[in-house]
Structure 1
Amino acid sequence: MANIGIPGLIIILVLALIVFGPKKLPELGRAVGTTLKEFKRSTRELTDDIVDEVQEVKTEIEKM
């Protein structure tokens, strides 16, 4: 699936246009964009929490 290429993308877009219609496509695009943005934000927060925990453990080890 990593090597879809331009022709594959065109086929996918045409199929999406046929299935969902031209009026629904912008709404679907916005929904996908919002979902990806939320996923990135959640992932970033989780990563930050893990980094904070590691820093706390390092600090506690250094105090010993």
Structure 2
Amino acid sequence: MNALIAVPGGWELMLIVLVILLLFGAKKLPELARGSGRALRIFKAETKGLIDDEDDESKTPEQREIEARNAQAQTDVVSDDPVVREQRDTTT
């Protein structure tokens, strides 16, 4: 493998972190990390929304009807009857 495009090792990563720390300062790093996390979360939500929209548009009416029936069947399975516990004789 070519050494110029290798993955950085321990010392290289430490040097990169040190340079970033010197450039931005210790006070600014938490804000940068927080902002990056928010941006990533928004990006994930938007891409998930796009994928969900594509799924809904590509489904045929028959597929939507089958999914609706399955959802109704799942709600019908759950009953409102209380769970009755069995009393057991604990004397042995």
- TM bucket, shorter chain: 0.7 to 0.9
Query: For residues 1-64 of structure 1, what are the structure 2 equivalents within 5 Å?
Result: 3-55=7-59, 58-59=60-61
Normalising by structure 2, we get a TM-score of 0.54
Larger radius of gyration: 2
Normalising by structure 1, we get a TM-score of 0.74
**5+ unaligned residues in a row in structure 2: which ranges?**
63-92
Task: Please state which structure has a larger fraction of its residues in helix.
Answer: 1
1:7-55 CA-partner distances (Å, limit 9, x unpaired): 4432222111010000000000000000000000101001000001111
Could you list the runs of 4 or more consecutive aligned residues of structure 1 that deviate by over 4 angstroms after TM superposition?
none
RMSD: 2.1
**5+ unaligned residues in a row in structure 1: which ranges?**
none
Using the aligned pairs only, state the percent identity. Answer: 43
Q: C-alpha distance in 2, partners of 1:6/1:46?
A: 39
Q: Which one has more relative contact order, counting CA pairs under 8 Å at least 6 apart? A: 1
* Aligned pairs, number: 58
